[in-house]
Amino acid sequence: MDDIRFAGFYSDYLLQSGIPAGDDVIVSALLDAAQLDTLLVRHTLSRERFTFKTQTYSRNPDLWRLVLLQVRENIRKKTVSAQ
């Protein structure tokens, strides 16, 4: 369940920070601490859990790949529904 929440958080982070979902060039914007906290709360992740999960993913590339596949799907769904 944490992996799904993390994927949701990371998808929203990428979308809000300006990472393009397609071929469009978008200027990136750094999110401040308050914006990051808001995203963490929205996805019910504590900073401690976030840190734990990032450490887990750095040790387990196969799990990270699965999370990134979910992130890609989340972004695709959100950008298609916004068009």
pTM listed for this prediction: 0.82
Instruction: Say what the pLDDT of residue 17 is.
Output: 84
80 pLDDT band, cuts 50/70/90, is: confident
Cβ neighbours, 10 Å, residue 57? 19
Taking the C-alpha atoms of residue 74 and residue 70, their distance in angstroms, rounded to an integer, is 6
What stretch of H or E contains 14? helix 2-16
38 pLDDT band, cuts 50/70/90, is: very high
Instruction: Give the torsion sign (CA, 29, 32, 34, 37).
Output: positive
Instruction: Give the torsion sign (CA, 54, 60, 61, 66).
Output: negative
